[in-house]
Structure 1
Amino acid sequence: MRVDKLLWYVRLAATRSFAHDWALEGHMRLNGRRIERPSAAVRPGDVLVLPTRSGVKVIEVLSLPTRRGPAAEAQACYRVLEPGVEQFDEPSARTDA
């Protein structure tokens, strides 16, 4: 799925044209690489770093939406990651001493 379409579907952009222009600015990162075109392909498991007015938002794409549905449906397609904090799936992976 195109990154501009994904951002619009998951309601991180108010309009698709805004999402298109947002991607063209070149400040987004997809899996650590800079995005310079709105047609960049996004797949489940990808990590997007998005500049926002209030800072930086890091999200992991969990699934690709099929439509621009209600907010609850859109939010189920991604999870917000904390920038600079490692994410662990299993509690045993932590190294607390």
Structure 2
Amino acid sequence: MAADGPTAPVRVDSWLWAVRLAKTRSEATAACKGGHVRLNGDRVKPAQRVRTGDEVRVRRSGREHIVIVQRTIVKRVSAAVAAECLIDKTPPPPAKTERPAAVIRERGAGRPTKRDRRAIDRLRGRG
């Protein structure tokens, strides 16, 4: 299956793999079947065709990646060429929050009392 030009429609699972949004073609197919891929707002099957100008949303690792198709390709290409085939509209990840320090108790001190638990909760920022 070869695309005739940069605007020929291509399978969405093949395109996701070619532009490196999925590590393998089978991973891209599984993401489509699992409902993690949306094309112009609608869930898609792996064989759905993607065209230039379409918006593709892929949910991976708890984050949603939003890309606009610039060029359709079938074969996997280098990262530099793959970057030219899409416009990345993914919002930046949220800032990481600082985690409170871990509470370390002496070995053999037994279970914490109610007073100790309240102090631990205050230290962790929960109380």
TM-score between both structures, scaled by the size of structure 1 = 0.78
Distance 1:7 1:82, change over 3 A: closer
Q: What is the correspondence of 1:82-97 to structure 2 with a 5 Å cutoff?
A: 82=90
Q: What is the correspondence of 1:1-97 to structure 2 with a 5 Å cutoff?
A: 1-35=10-44, 37-82=45-90
Rg (Cα) greater in structure: 2
Q: Which amino acid aligns with 2:30?
A: D
Shift of 1:26: 1.2
Q: Aligned residue pairs: how many?
A: 82
The unaligned stretches of length 5 or more in structure 1 are 84-97
TM-score between both structures, scaled by the size of structure 2 = 0.61
Distance 1:74 1:24, change over 3 A: same
CA RMSD of aligned residues (A): 1.3
Distance 1:28 1:53, change over 3 A: same
Shift of 1:22: 0.8
SS at the partner of 1:8? helix
Per-residue Cα deviation, 1:17-74 (whole angstroms, up to 9, x for no partner): 1111111001321111121x10011000000111011411110000012421110011
The unaligned stretches of length 5 or more in structure 2 are 1-9, 92-127
CA distance in 2, matches of 1:78, 1:8: 13
SS at the partner of 1:65? coil
Q: Which amino acid aligns with 2:77?
A: G
